Amino acid sequence: MPRIYPVNKKTATVSVRSALEKQRNISNDPVSNMQATLAHSLSAFNVYMQWDTLFDEVKRILGERQAYIFALSISKGSSCVYCETVFRKRLADTGTDADHLILSDEEKDLSSFGEAVARYHGNIANHLFNSLAKKYFTEELVILTAFAGQMIAANVFNNVTETNIDDHLAEHVVPIKKVWG
């Protein structure tokens, strides 16, 4: 059960409905529970929706598959089931099974970097950063690092508000591992 429920799109103000519709048109996706929850504050909503702009840059640098793997690793590092589920679905939509990822060396480096940035709050080992610094220009490193920070912000928001998984994502929820036999 979410701590903060999404706005009711039918009873929301005109400005909120307009912002949600504009975002839906930009992303070509239905309004998510996260977006509708953020819409309680248009300033918060507008700041978080800049994520799409930065993610487009990440996809330009990495390509779609690697961008999804990078975002997934950050979400795992933040223990964000909501965002992890989003990227499990995006990978599935490309024909990739997130439970059986076969990663190239570059994807392993990106994944290790993303997960470590989230898990250790940016205090990462030099070898993680240096492995990317050998492959990417300074501007690209800035974009990847800024995106990791923005992704972590989304992860924190969803963890704090306990955002419900959207219906279209339900089949991609992270499998729960049995601890007891």
Same domain, residue pair 38 and 66 = no
Residue 3 lies in a domain: no
Same domain, residue pair 86 and 33 = no
Q: How many domains does the chain have?
A: 2
Tell me the C-alpha distance between 115 and 45, whole Å: 25
Same domain, residue pair 109 and 141 = yes
Q: Which helix (H) or strand (E) holds 116?
A: helix 105-119
Residue 110 lies in a domain: yes
Domain that holds residue 157: 50-172
Residue 98: which CATH number? Answer: 1.20.1290.10
Same domain, residue pair 69 and 124 = yes
Same domain, residue pair 57 and 145 = yes
State which residues of the chain have pLDDT below 70.
176-181
Tell me the C-alpha distance between 180 and 132, whole Å: 39
Tell me the C-alpha distance between 148 and 117, whole Å: 7
Smallest Cα–Cα separation from 129: which of 114, 143, 119?
114
pLDDT of residue 181: 52
Same domain, residue pair 147 and 96 = yes
pLDDT of residue 81: 95
Same domain, residue pair 162 and 73 = yes
Same domain, residue pair 115 and 44 = no
Same domain, residue pair 82 and 122 = yes
Smallest Cα–Cα separation from 29: which of 169, 159, 163?
169
pLDDT of residue 17: 95
pLDDT of residue 29: 83
Same domain, residue pair 34 and 59 = no
Residue 107 lies in a domain: yes
Residue 161 lies in a domain: yes
- Torsion angle of the four alpha carbons 63, 65, 66, 69, in this order, in degrees rounded to the nearest 10: 150
Q: Is 1 exposed, middle or buried (0-12, 13-18, 19+ CB in 10 A)?
A: exposed
Smallest Cα–Cα separation from 103: which of 115, 85, 121?
115
Same domain, residue pair 66 and 12 = no
Residue 177 lies in a domain: no
pTM: 0.93
Residue 178 lies in a domain: no
pLDDT digits (tens, 9 = 90+) for 112-136: 999 999 999 999 999 999 999 999 9
Residue 101 lies in a domain: yes
Tell me the C-alpha distance between 159 and 80, whole Å: 6
Same domain, residue pair 81 and 42 = no
| Residue 74 and residue 167 in contact, taking contact as beta carbons nearer than 8 Å | no
